[in-house]
Amino acid sequence: MTKRVVITGLGVVSPNGADIAQFTQAIRNGLSGIKHDPQLEQLLFSCQIAGKPVIDESRILQYFTPLEIRNLESTGIVYGVIAGMDAWKDAGLEPAAAETPDWESGTIFGTGTSGIDKFRNAVYKLDNLQIRKLGSTVVAQTMASGISAYLAGKLGLGNQVTTNSSACATGTESILMAYERIKTGQATIMLAGSTSDSGPYIWAGFDAMKVCTYKYNDAPEKGSRPMSETASGFVPGSGAGAMVLESLESALARGAKVYGEILGGHLNSGGQRGTGTMTAPNPLAVQRCIAMALKTSGIRPDEIDLINGHLTATSKDTLEIQNWVTALGRSGKDFPYINSIKGMIGHCISAAGSIECVASVLQLDGGFIFPNINCEDLHPEIAALVDPERIPGFCLDKKINILAKASFGFGDVNACLILKKYDHG
């Protein structure tokens, strides 16, 4: 017997809002969090703008002990712990008692890399034969599962505790994995999400690949341009998104607020076959991922009201739109509304999917469609496929019933999630 799975808590640390209230206001109003980054300029990056969350130390002290902060160099762990614990609190949940873990609650919290600054400093000390000066927190901060381990310890989670990693699809994948665990009765509550470190040691490889824009260093807020004809590459970003998933039965029993319901989804890979490569998606796999997500959710293509796309402001945006058109069999005025938050926050790499899933749930719950900023010059190939009115440049107050969220990552991996507005009646 499968269980219905709902969302009862949200948390976010984003370049344009470091908590849910700030983030909601920002996405409703199309506010950008992308700014000039002096460090990237100093290091001679081509792209000298980025999306980095702003968090003051007094807030960090609410989540970490003074001893933890003294040795904490992983921005990804900071972002993930804040977003995860905020989601837990938003769901009306408390940490487990001191002696016994919560056997019914766990976490799947993804990342791409962890503590890269900590790792860099450790390497320098090793090179200088200073192994005794590494300290006791190097392993916890640099192991990929550091984020899930930190969250499990702070919340006392006793069910599955793990970290997934699938490049830019990581966050959406973590939510689908947590959903499956609850659906099949293996857990009652799961904290799902993902995080990404900030800084040049994360972003340098992308700059070297020339996939980041260099044309807007003097106009940071205009730099990230999904679906735009003048898009010239993505803007690097960072942060974390988190949500509490719970069986509907449990949520109702404790009177929890329900933000929305997860109907299903699908994960796959294009196997880097056909036109798929390490960096380019296999269109057949993307289309199959979308189609299978609908099938597992029991949803027809014509029932989708809104798509929250991956849409990175690269040359692949037109291909993504074509894949949606083909998979849904819908185009022109019949196409669903579609938006991308990357115009406001850049591409947050392993945190992208989870931050975007939080934005998706906020739209469902709040009855609005956030605007596509920097898209006033819609790419003509996209305009030929989709009526421009379906790509709004301003916030629409509109009830959304079914939302499709997709993420596509390096390695030719895909994730698609189907969300539904919860009927409180």
How large a percentage of the chain has pLDDT more than 90? Answer: 88
Q: Do the beta carbons of residue 421 and residue 260 sit within 8 Å?
A: yes
For residue 125, the model assigns a pLDDT of 56
Q: Confidence band (pLDDT; 50, 70, 90) for 231?
A: very high
- DSSP annotation of 378: B
Cβ–Cβ contacts within 10 Å for residue 11, how many?
28
Closest CA to 236 of 262, 205, 267, 268: 205
The pTM of the full predicted model, rounded to 2 decimals, is 0.95
Q: Which of 66-70, 73-77, 199-203, 316-320 has the highest mean pLDDT?
A: 316-320
Q: For the chain, which domains are there?
A: 5-253 (3.40.47.10), 264-420 (3.40.47.10)
For residue 66, the model assigns a pLDDT of 86
For residue 250, the model assigns a pLDDT of 98
Where helices occur in 112-169 by DSSP H, the ranges are 116-127, 138-142, 146-155
Give residues with Cβ within 8 angstroms of 196, minimum separation 6.
76, 79, 111, 112, 202, 237, 238, 239, 240, 348, 349, 350, 351, 352
Q: Please report the DSSP string for 268-305 in residue order.
A: EE-TT-TT--SSS--HHHHHHHHHHHHHHHT--GGG--
Closest CA to 349 of 44, 161, 75: 75
Q: Residue 122 above 70 pLDDT?
A: no
Q: Return d(Cα 258, Cα 261) in angstroms, integer.
A: 8
Cβ–Cβ contacts within 10 Å for residue 300, how many?
10
- DSSP annotation of 61: T
Q: Residue 131 above 60 pLDDT?
A: no
262-296 pLDDT per residue, tens: 999 999 999 999 999 998 999 999 999 999 999 99
Encoded amino acid at 109, one letter: F
For residue 212, the model assigns a pLDDT of 97
C-alpha radius of gyration, the chain, whole number: 20
Q: How many residues are listed for the chain in this entry? A: 425
CB contact burial 249-258 (16+ within 10 A = b; e otherwise)? ebbeeeebbb
Q: Residue 139 above 80 pLDDT?
A: no
For residue 283, the model assigns a pLDDT of 97
For residue 69, the model assigns a pLDDT of 83
Q: Confidence band (pLDDT; 50, 70, 90) for 129?
A: low
Largest CA distance in the chain: 66
Q: Confidence band (pLDDT; 50, 70, 90) for 73?
A: confident
Q: Return d(Cα 243, Cα 276) in angstroms, integer.
A: 31
For residue 134, the model assigns a pLDDT of 58
Q: Residue 62 above 60 pLDDT?
A: yes
346-360 pLDDT per residue, tens: 999 999 999 999 999
Q: Return d(Cα 178, Cα 252) in angstroms, integer.
A: 19
Q: Name the more confident of 126 and 35.
A: 35
Q: Return d(Cα 20, Cα 152) in angstroms, integer.
A: 22
Question: Token match 């301003």: residue?
Answer: 394
Report the SS3 class of residue 8. strand
Q: Confidence band (pLDDT; 50, 70, 90) for 234?
A: very high
Torsion angle of the four alpha carbons 378, 215, 76, 280, in this order, in degrees rounded to the nearest 10: 60
Q: Residue 181 above 80 pLDDT?
A: yes
Closest CA to 201 of 114, 109, 126: 114
